[in-house]
Structure 1
Amino acid sequence: MPGEHAVTRAEERLDVGTEVIPVGRARLVVETITEEVLVPVQVSRQRVRVEMGPATDTSSVPRGPATASRWLTLYADEPVVTVRSVPSERVRLATTWVPGEAEVRTTVAREVVEVETPN
């Protein structure tokens, strides 16, 4: 059509998205804590008891001063402590995403078409 003119109007649109960025670091630190533990242990020991009875056969008993001596070894239980490391607990460092909301405020521009006609 003669005398017809067209203009394409443009406007800015806001395109909002997210981007993953590092915000901090975490480190899993294992500390060794020493504590005193009291564990009862039952121990026993040998002891000597002399039992005496009547002498019925005196023909085999040596006469004179008693010079023969016999040593007997006595034994006792002694607590033995061994410390070893055993696995007791498994710990894992994990992350989770926490949902949230943020507001974005900005200015956008748009074109306005005006027609001016000469009078």
Structure 2
Amino acid sequence: MRPQELVGTEVYDPKGERVGKVATVYLSEESQQPEWVTVHTGLFGHKESFVPLAGAQSATDGLHVNWGKDKIKEAPRIDADGHLSAQESMNLYDYYGIPVQRAGEPGGQGQRGKMPQDRQTQKQARGGQQGRQDEQVMTRSEEQLKVGTQRVETGRVRLRKHVVTEEQQVTVPVSHEEIRIEREPVDPRRAGKTEIGEDEQEIVLHADKPVVAKESVPVEQVRVRTEEVTEQQQIRDKVRKEQIDVDQPRPGSVK
């Protein structure tokens, strides 16, 4: 793993417990390979603890080291100021039980006082700074248009009824009585004797009169319900993106 790829990586102990995130990477002066890292530990991650990378393995979830979380948190307190002195590196070797190679022995992982901090690995995580001596790394970013939906109120529908008066005309059959005079001769044999005089009789006439009555009856039900209607809308917006240009010297311009 390159130094710039280690910065910000999650660190786990052999039990799988999370220790913290890599803050700084220290390189071996001999091999220029990552040899130590500092990990954010303590309350709110304000403390940085040194962890050796000997035997560490990189996995999809992060970096797995060979020392327990408590062991790492109790490591000697050393300020990550860009350089480890010989005494500081000796203290770390002794604490983690890593053999220290003596003078005249081949240099390697245990070399003390040979581990300047690669500060630029942190800068590379943010893009635009130098990584190894033979390469330049710059991160290009761009905006991406992400569109979602949010349900909002667009209107309200009320059911309301009111009274309207209208005129109706209905034809009703009515009957009435009328006087009809019928005259017929009297049989003398049945008439008998009568006296001449005045007489009066009264006949009552009847007629039908329309009578109006009103009654409220239910005639109709009105129901309102909602239904989902899906339609397609085109969303258009402007996004920004970075472009990287390489300025190369023109042939013959370098002397």
TM bin, normalised by shorter chain, reads 0.5 to 0.7
Distance in 2, matches of 1:87 and 1:108, equals 65
One-letter amino acid of the counterpart of residue 90, structure 1: Q
Extract unaligned runs of 5+ from structure 1: 111-119
How big is the shift at 1:63?
Answer: 0.6
Based on CA coordinates, which of the two structures has the bigger radius of gyration? 2
How big is the shift at 1:66?
Answer: 2.2
User: Quick check: 1:58 aligned with 2:194?
Assistant: no
- Distance verdict in 2 for CA 1:102–1:84, change over 3 Å: farther
Superposition pairs for residues 35-114 of structure 1, below 5 Å?
Answer: 35-56=166-187, 57-59=190-192, 62-67=194-199, 69-100=200-231, 101=233, 103=235, 105=237, 107=239
Q: Deviations over 1:79-103 (max 9, x none)?
A: 1222222222221122222323252
- Distance verdict in 2 for CA 1:106–1:94, change over 3 Å: farther
| 1:117 aligned partner | none
Structure with greater contact order relative to length (CA < 8 Å, sep ≥ 6): 1
One-letter amino acid of the counterpart of residue 103, structure 1: I
TM-score by length of 2: 0.34
| 2:162 aligned partner | 31
One-letter amino acid of the counterpart of residue 79, structure 1: P
Distance in 2, matches of 1:20 and 1:72, equals 84
Q: Deviations over 1:43-99 (max 9, x none)?
A: 111112222211112215x412123x3222211111122222222222112222232
Query: Number of matched residues?
Result: 107
Asked whether the 8 Å contact 2:144–2:239 carries over to 1, the reply is no
State the percentage of identical aligned residues.
Answer: 33
Extract unaligned runs of 5+ from structure 2: 9-124, 127-140, 243-255
Asked whether the 8 Å contact 1:14–1:108 carries over to 2, the reply is no
How big is the shift at 1:107?
Answer: 5.0
Asked whether the 8 Å contact 2:176–2:207 carries over to 1, the reply is yes
Q: Which has the higher strand share?
A: 2
**Considering only aligned residues, what root-mean-square deviation do their CA atoms show, in Å?**
3.3
Of the structure 1 ranges 31-40 and 10-19, higher mean CA displacement relative to structure 2 is found in 10-19
Distance in 1, matches of 2:240 and 2:228, equals 31
Asked whether the 8 Å contact 1:43–1:78 carries over to 2, the reply is yes
Q: Which has the higher helix share?
A: 2
TM-score by length of 1: 0.65
One-letter amino acid of the counterpart of residue 58, structure 1: A
